[in-house]
Structure 1
Amino acid sequence: MQQQPIYQSARPSFMSRLDGAPVTKWLLILNIAVYFLGMANANLGEWLALKGHFSVATFFQHGQLWRILSFQFLHASPSHLLFNMFAIYMFGAFVEHWWQSKKFLFFYLIAGCGGALLYSLLFQLGQFGDTPFMYRGTIYEAAYIPLVGASAGIYGILLGVAVIAPDQRIMLIFPPIPMKMRTFALGILAISLFIVLTDGRNSGGEAGHLGGAILGFIMMKNPHWLAFIDRTGGGPRRPAGGTKSRWRRPGIRDAKVVREKKIKPRTIIDLHHDDELDGILDKISEQGFQSLTAEERKKLDQASQKK
């Protein structure tokens, strides 16, 4: 089974990696723009940080619900921004092509929300302690400790790549060694989990990483969760008319289908107009491949072998 490579043998131009991935491109633009606008204007930067960061107190106690999204576009330092944008640039388009753009946007933001929620849960359970902190001469409760960064959504993306192409080999920057995407994903999750369990440095941020990864993994295994987006016009359209159609249904790209011997991701199926097959394809799009009965799988398998 061949998988779409993350790295091509021929070196692509810088922007060509983002071809057909408008959401990935705009995530890069927005994150970079927000950071440098804040750097260029100190007052604006302080306002963005105060109004945009996530904390347990501001979200749950004060009901400032926008923060569960806005914190994903703020960064604490140039290196924080650089590493996150590099990860989005390298892996975002790959997952966006799998989901399609509208679904990918929801996937990314929901994974980011998952990071904030797991951080909040572990904070309430006392995992990070309750030491107050000082900001500009004022002492704040630990519940006001700010959480910022795109990392939770990015960890969702990394788990997405690991599910789609677990055996894809990537090259680490430091140390410069190749490894499978599955191994890389398990490695970074193990590091985050260790830091959280030992309450190490930036344990709250690592909890956010774990939350994004967990929710990203769950969504990859249950793509029907985002099926409602198809019904708003974001999904594939069936060609009108004719007795024979050539239709590629992204809903077939269920994570479990990657392991099927006969029906693979991005398989193009020639279908004679058949209401029963249409119903099966609709069911896959809305509920995932795993929802099919044995009889439905057999019929779809037979249809996929017709040339």
Structure 2
Amino acid sequence: MSEMRPGKFQYLPLVIKYLLIINVVVWLAQVALLQMYGFKLSDYLGLRYWGSEYFRPHQFITHLFLHDESNFLHVFSNMFALWMFGSTLENRWGPKRFLNFYLICGLGAALCHESVLTYENMQLSKLAQAFYDHPTLDNFRVIVDKYGIDEMQSFVDAWQRLPADSDQLVWQTKHFVSVFVEQIKNIPTVGASGAVFGVLLAFGYLYPNQQLFIIPIPFPIRVKYFIGGYILWELYVGFKNQAGDNVAHFAHLGGALFAYILLKIWGERSDPRS
């Protein structure tokens, strides 16, 4: 069991400071490259599904330091949570153990995310193959109902207007489905959320009774209830798998899972004073 290290509490400890700097600088570089040259760094360093032709092993690490170029809130919320909860953990463990913890949680989150992507891509391939074998509106609707992107509705409307045996319509829809399958397979994932979620779990596990003030909740809430509720919410929306939801919920849960495993391996226990 690790105890809080003696000495003055550092509000911006070493590893947290450099993680904040690296993530913000990389995000600014992403924005600049995109606006000036139309170059998306996430296309090369974001984590791809390992069945994609664009997958590279280094993406397991590099995706942790990238965020959505069009969404400042993405990088801000991750870095704020990392500082708010991670500072206490680094003061408790020291920089080396905290960095190891952070990276292992991030890698664990990526492995869980890849496992979910494998299942989802296999399911999509089965649906697509069923449509290729029997190109009917009903088989196409199964894909539409699950993924529901706007472009699909135009094909549904065309199938309803034209004869179902129209060779051109069948070919166009098959081509659209094949392109869609490849697009889904090649979507990059970016963000430190999985690693940060591991930090949240660790803080909640070690200091369960600490009080938090969360806007817009008008009263303090104990960390164990906040983190527990957050995990249940991630499970709910992850299994719901609503069309248009581009958040990697199971990466968040994977980060929490690996955090819990590490805490058990290290023999960490809740602070009785918290």
* TM-score between both structures, scaled by the size of structure 2: 0.69
For residues 45 and 93 of structure 1, what CA distance do their matches in structure 2 show? 36
2:45 to 52, 59, 67: 52
Divergent runs of 4+, >4 A: 60-63, 131-134
Please report how far the alpha carbon of residue 175 of structure 1 lies from its aligned counterpart in structure 2 after TM superposition.
2.5
CA spacing shift, 1:38–1:222, aligned 2, 3 Å:
same
Kept in 1: contact 2:198–2:259 (CA 8 A):
yes
SS of the aligned residue for 1:142 comes to helix
CA spacing shift, 1:44–1:96, aligned 2, 3 Å:
farther
Kept in 1: contact 2:46–2:66 (CA 8 A):
yes
For residues 45 and 24 of structure 1, what CA distance do their matches in structure 2 show? 31
AA partner of residue 123 (structure 1): L
**Which structure shows the higher helix fraction?**
2
Please report how far the alpha carbon of residue 123 of structure 1 lies from its aligned counterpart in structure 2 after TM superposition.
2.2
AA partner of residue 40 (structure 1): A
Kept in 2: contact 1:196–1:203 (CA 8 A):
no
Corresponding residue number in structure 2 for 1:102: 96
CA spacing shift, 1:165–1:38, aligned 2, 3 Å:
same
Corresponding residue number in structure 2 for 1:90: 84
Corresponding residue number in structure 2 for 1:196: 238
**Which structure shows the higher strand fraction?**
1
Is there any run of 5+ residues in structure 1 with no aligned partner, and where? Answer: 5-11, 224-253, 266-307
CA spacing shift, 1:192–1:129, aligned 2, 3 Å:
farther
SS of the aligned residue for 1:95 comes to helix
For residues 123 and 18 of structure 2, what CA distance do their matches in structure 1 show? 37
Kept in 1: contact 2:15–2:99 (CA 8 A):
yes
SS of the aligned residue for 2:116 comes to helix
Please report how far the alpha carbon of residue 174 of structure 1 lies from its aligned counterpart in structure 2 after TM superposition.
2.4
Kept in 2: contact 1:123–1:129 (CA 8 A):
no
* TM-score between both structures, scaled by the size of structure 1: 0.62
Summarize the alignment of residues 1-307 of structure 1 with structure 2, pairs less than 5 Å apart. Answer: 17-18=11-12, 21-42=13-34, 46-57=39-50, 64-76=56-68, 77-126=71-120, 130=124, 140-200=182-242, 202=245, 205-223=248-266, 254-256=267-269, 258=271
Kept in 2: contact 1:32–1:81 (CA 8 A):
yes
Query: For 1:62-96, what per-residue CA distance to the aligned partner results, in whole angstroms no more than 9, with x for missing partners?
Result: 66111011111111121111111110121111111
- By relative contact order (CA 8 Å, sep 6+), the higher-ranking structure is 2
User: How many equivalent residue pairs?
Assistant: 214
CA spacing shift, 1:185–1:178, aligned 2, 3 Å:
same
CA spacing shift, 1:184–1:26, aligned 2, 3 Å:
same
Please report how far the alpha carbon of residue 129 of structure 1 lies from its aligned counterpart in structure 2 after TM superposition.
5.3
Percent same amino acid at aligned positions?
28
Please report how far the alpha carbon of residue 47 of structure 1 lies from its aligned counterpart in structure 2 after TM superposition.
4.4
Query: For 1:2-31, what per-residue CA distance to the aligned partner results, in whole angstroms no more than 9, with x for missing partners?
Result: x98xxxxxxx9xxx621xx10001111111
SS of the aligned residue for 1:255 comes to coil
For residues 20 and 44 of structure 2, what CA distance do their matches in structure 1 show? 21
For residues 62 and 41 of structure 1, what CA distance do their matches in structure 2 show? 20
For residues 216 and 26 of structure 1, what CA distance do their matches in structure 2 show? 21
AA partner of residue 64 (structure 1): R
Please report how far the alpha carbon of residue 183 of structure 1 lies from its aligned counterpart in structure 2 after TM superposition.
0.7
AA partner of residue 22 (structure 2): L
210-219 vs 168-177, greater mean Cα deviation: 168-177
CA spacing shift, 1:154–1:90, aligned 2, 3 Å:
same
